[in-house]
Amino acid sequence: MARYAFLDHPGPIAFAHRGGAGPWPENSWPAFAHAVALGYRYLETDIRVTRDGTAMILHDPTLDRVSDHTGPLSDLTAAEAARIRLHPPSARPATTPPAGPATPAPTVQDQPTSSGGQPIPRLDELLDRWPDARLNLDVKEAAALEPTIAALRRANALDRVCVTSFDDEVAREARRLAGPGLCLGAGMSAIAAARMWSVLPSRLATRRPRGLVERDVVQVPVSFRSIRVCDARFVRYMKAVGLPVHVWTINDEAVMDALLDLGVDGIITDRPESLRTVLRRRDLWPAS
């Protein structure tokens, strides 16, 4: 039995990254609904915060790439953010407009609400929509952490999420705020230390580096800046110190198979159909 309900799963965990790629906006209701309809129980997503402290589902530091608005979400109130519409990939500008005279960015009040786009989900809405789903929450900014923990407490959902962040300070603060009942991923500097420890002689690589103390899972890329992160030695070391390994963001079926052969504990993908196919072929897709 896993220490956390989030990690209690028969076999490798399949995560739909931002809901999964498709003709819908990333991190949108149609993306999440599609993954759930495929049978995904785990959704990976990102958290940012509005000016008045509402945790919302958004990856980028600004709204420019994915919506009909520009600038940071943190400049807006939740009411203003509710009027913004996310655009599917086909509706986004293919190129950056040429530079020209600077003009003031329009405010939300100046912009019409797009009838064809999707609203930005709030974290509390996502928790309520699928109460049986488990959420992997990548907290993108320190200011979003307290609103995230508050939303999880209100929904009584601490046991069905994992909070992660590239920033080790955010991870430490998450443990302080939420206590031991929250599944917590390691930050990037802790993962870098763990990678170095994984290549030590086996008689030495039996303990966790300091950054992995009180962490419950590591979520890593296969490689980072041309440096291999997840290989057989890394997975073997993590198993020795009792930490599951989840790998992002894997969209090629051959790579999925290779990682499963290494013994990874989870795969995060933009291609949920492909990962389901691989897991079914290996008899690792859980029954409905």
Catalytic one of 17, 34, 69, 87:
17
59 catalytic? Reply is yes
Please give the backbone phi and psi of residue 243, each rounded to the nearest 5 degrees, phi first: -115, 125
- Residue 56: closest CA among 65, 47, 69: 47
17 catalytic? Reply is yes
Residue 149: C-alpha distances to residues 213, 215, 240, 273 (Å): 21, 17, 30, 31
Could you give the CA distance from residue 142 to residue 126 in angstroms, rounded to a whole number? 20
Q: Which residues pair with 164 in a beta bridge?
A: 138
72 contacts: CB under 8 Å, gap ≥ 6:
61, 62, 63
Q: Contact at 8 Å (CB) between 222 and 243?
A: no
Residue 28: C-alpha distances to residues 25, 66, 120, 210, 225 (Å): 6, 11, 7, 37, 29
Helices 253-262, 272-281: inter-axial angle, 10-degree rounding: 50
Catalytic one of 9, 59, 69, 246:
59
Catalytic residues: 17, 59
